[in-house]
């Protein structure tokens, strides 16, 4: 029970963390020079000073910072993320529209990477220094070192332009008006290349971690004991080593899960994928502070939540942890 009281502390502690992030975001974001009104006026060619002032009034930028701050905190506590004046749309609507495609892309890439990374890592570790190990190690090294945007473009050139197997970009085919099952297949076809481009990087990462972790376990006392008991190599590996070796991968995956909501600007840009990464990037470029703060807030909440879940898992798995 003391373990779970410890978890309760962590839960309580999360609230001031989120609040601190809220406050920090608000002031950090204002350190960037220039404001949304001047960017918008700039894109409109030469606007008159009156026009820029009109925009500042509309955006609420003419009010004192402290007033803007309290308004922002009050709204955030009610989970009202405000209005993006640049986009003429509520922030929550903009973020929600991107949430589905972002999670779809990131979860697919992430789970495939963890699954196949673990498998390849084990295969490499079992046959250490064999040709199989060499092939896997070289391949993962190449995947790890290849820039994602280049890989993405090469996939497009090969599979879309030359072979015409897959669509170049986008989330779905708009002109066809697919529905139901057909629509699912269409989206899946659009997903293949972005998931591959993004997933290969993580795949390489997890393969390397898993291989190293497996090798580390090989020399452990419990493995020697099991072998002395006469257990088969297969059983030693699957029954004993795998579970222990998987822990570092799980920890790493837990930390990186925070990236899920953030999306990937590079992959989204190359494949025209409607994700949150590009939304945040454009919001930053155009100083769309409400939208940016909204994205930060959602991401922060999610990262804190995932950390709590990982903490709960660790507590459940490892009895040594307590307050």
Partner 1 sequence: MTESMRPSRRALLSSAVLATVGPAQAQAPARAPVRGGTMVMIVNPEPSTLATYAVSAGNIPPVTTQIYEGLLTYDWEIRPQPMLAKSWTVSEDGKTITFQLQEGVTFHNGQPFTSADVQYSFMEIAKKVNPNGPVILAELQSVDTPDPMTAVFNLANPAPYLMVSLSANNIPIVCKSVFEGTQPLQNPSANRPVGTGPFKFGEWNRGQFIRLDRNERYWKPGLPLLNRIIARFIPDAATRSAALETGEAHYAAYSAVNAADIRRMQANPILGSTTQGYGTTAATSVLEFNMRRPNLAKKEVRQAICYAIDRQFIVDNILHGFGKPATGPLSSVFTTQGFYTDQVRRFDVPDRLEIANRLMDEAGFPRGANGVRMSLFLEINSFGEQWLRQGEYLKQALGQIGINLTLRSEDTATWLRRCYTDYDFDINEPFYSAGADPVVGVHRHYVSSAIRRGTTFVNNKDYRSPDVDRLMDAATREIVPARRAELYHEAQRIMVEDSPGAWLCEVQYVTIFNKKLQNHTNRPLGTYSAFDRAWLER
Q: Footprint of partner 1 on this chain (CB under 8 A)?
A: 32-35, 38-52, 54-55, 58, 86-89, 94, 97-98, 101, 149, 153, 156-157, 160-161, 164, 167-172, 174-175, 268-275, 278-279, 282, 285-287
Based on CB atoms, which residue is closest to partner 1, 98 or 211?
98
In the complex with partner 1, which residue's Cβ is closer, 39 or 301? 39
CB 282 within 8 A of CB 82: no
CA distances (Å), 35 to each of 26, 86, 291, in order?
14, 11, 13
Q: How far is the CB of 247 from partner 1 (least distance, A)?
A: 38
Helix axes 148-155, 180-218, angle to 10 degrees: 140
DSSP state of 196: H
Question: 41 or 124: whose CB is closer to partner 1?
Answer: 41
CB of 48 to partner 1, least distance (A): 5
3-class state of residue 53 by DSSP: helix
Distance of closest approach, residue 172 Cβ to partner 1, in angstroms: 8
Is the Cβ of residue 64 or residue 177 nearer to partner 1 in the bound state? 177
- For the bound state, the minimum distance from the C-beta of residue 284 to partner 1, rounded and expressed in Å, comes to 8
* DSSP assignment of 70-88: HHHHHHHHTT---EETTTT
Helices (H) and strands (E) in the chain, counts: 15, 2
The DSSP string of 85-118 is TTTTEEHHHHHHHHHHHHHHHHHHHHHHHHHHHH
Look up tokens 């066809």; give the residue.
176
Under 8 Å between Cβ of 244 and 219? no
Angstrom distance (rounded) from CA 275 to CA 53: 32
Token pair for residue 181?
Answer: 């099952």
DSSP for 215-226, written as a single string: HHHHTSHHHHHH
Instruction: Give the three-class secondary structure for 133.
Output: helix
CA distance 18 to 32: 22
CB of 297 to partner 1, least distance (A): 19
Minimum distance of partner 1 from residue 54's CB (angstroms) = 7
By beta-carbon proximity to partner 1, the closer residue of 68 and 169 is: 169
Nearer to partner 1, 93 or 233 (CB): 93
Least distance to partner 1 from the beta carbon of 258, Å?
A: 22
Give the shortest CB-125-to-partner 1 separation in angstroms: 38
What six digits make up the tokens of 81? 């993320």
The residue (of 147 and 239) whose beta carbon lies closer to partner 1 is 147
- Nearest Cα residue to 190 out of 219, 160, 217, 218: 160
Q: Which is nearer to partner 1, 56 or 132 (CB)?
A: 56
């Amino acid at each position: 029970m003391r373990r779970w009281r410890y978890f309760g502390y962590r839960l309580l502690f999360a609230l001031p963390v989120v609040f601190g992030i809220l406050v920090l975001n608000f002031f950090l974001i204002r350190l960037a020079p220039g404001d949304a009104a001047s960017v918008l006026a700039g894109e409109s060619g030469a606007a008159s000073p009156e026009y820029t002032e009109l925009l500042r009034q509309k955006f609420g930028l003419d009010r004192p910072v402290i007033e803007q701050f309290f308004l922002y905190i009050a709204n955030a506590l009610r989970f009202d993320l405000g209005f993006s004046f640049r986009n003429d749309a509520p922030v929550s609507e903009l973020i929600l529209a991107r949430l589905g495609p972002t999670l779809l892309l990131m979860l697919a890439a992430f789970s495939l990477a963890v699954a196949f990374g673990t498998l390849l890592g084990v295969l490499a570790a079992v046959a250490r220094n064999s040709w199989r190990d060499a092939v896997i190690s070289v391949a993962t090294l190449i995947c790890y070192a290849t820039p994602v945007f280049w890989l993405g473009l090469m996939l497009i050139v090969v599979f879309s332009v030359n072979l015409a197997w897959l669509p170049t970009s986008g989330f779905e085919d708009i002109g066809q008006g697919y529905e139901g099952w057909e629509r699912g297949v269409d989206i899946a076809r659009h997903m293949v290349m972005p998931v591959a481009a993004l997933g290969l990087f993580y795949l390489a990462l997890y393969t390397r971690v898993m291989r190293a972790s497996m090798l580390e376990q090989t020399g452990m006392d419990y493995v020697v004991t099991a072998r002395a008991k006469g257990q088969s190599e297969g059983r030693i590996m699957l029954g004993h080593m795998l579970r222990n070796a998987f822990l570092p991968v799980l920890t790493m995956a837990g930390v990186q899960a925070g990236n899920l909501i953030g999306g990937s600007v590079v992959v989204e840009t190359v494949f025209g994928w409607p994700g949150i990464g590009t939304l945040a990037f454009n919001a930053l470029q155009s100083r769309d502070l409400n939208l940016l703060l909204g994205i930060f807030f959602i991401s922060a909440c999610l990262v804190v939540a995932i950390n709590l879940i990982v903490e709960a898992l660790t507590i459940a798995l490892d009895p040594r942890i307590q307050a």
